[in-house]
A = this chain, B = another copy of it.
């Protein structure tokens, strides 16, 4: 019986990466908040890919930020340009332990110390068309509200899974 087994691709690597990634995530999300952006982690896009961090600005601007916790993490990602189809600006976010020069000049770069973050390089803007913007915004809003709802009403979550 494998139905109830916890699935981990690589438990050790995943665990270590997650802690660093979470620190980068935390500092980056705080920076975004200060800039007036709301953010949600792990937003699944229409392409099926998940954005590490999606941010929605005060005027509706959509940014996607990919968190890179290590050099290996960055090198294994060959699909980051695809994210541009779903945002107005694309950034990498990392920490001081990863050489900055590996990150492509065509993407923005955010450096986080785990507590806060700063934008080292602005990202070029490629404005989304109206229909795509509406779809990504809706996805963002639904994901954030559903997760909040699950947190506020965990019993409801169990009920709902039965429908």
Contacts and interface: CB of A to CB of B under 8 A. Distances in A.
Total copies of the chain: 2
A134 B56 CA distance: 13
Interface stretch (A9-17, A86-94, A96-104, A148-156): A148-156
B145 A40 contact: yes
B138 A60 contact: yes
A138 B29 contact: no
Given A30-B156, A38-B149, 4 more contacts: A30-B153, A58-B142, A140-B145, A141-B145
21 contacts: A26-B156, A29-B149, A29-B156, A30-B153, A30-B156, A30-B160, A38-B149, A39-B145, A40-B145, A56-B138, A56-B145, A58-B142, A137-B137, A140-B141, A141-B144, A141-B145, A144-B144, A144-B145, A147-B148, A148-B148, A151-B151
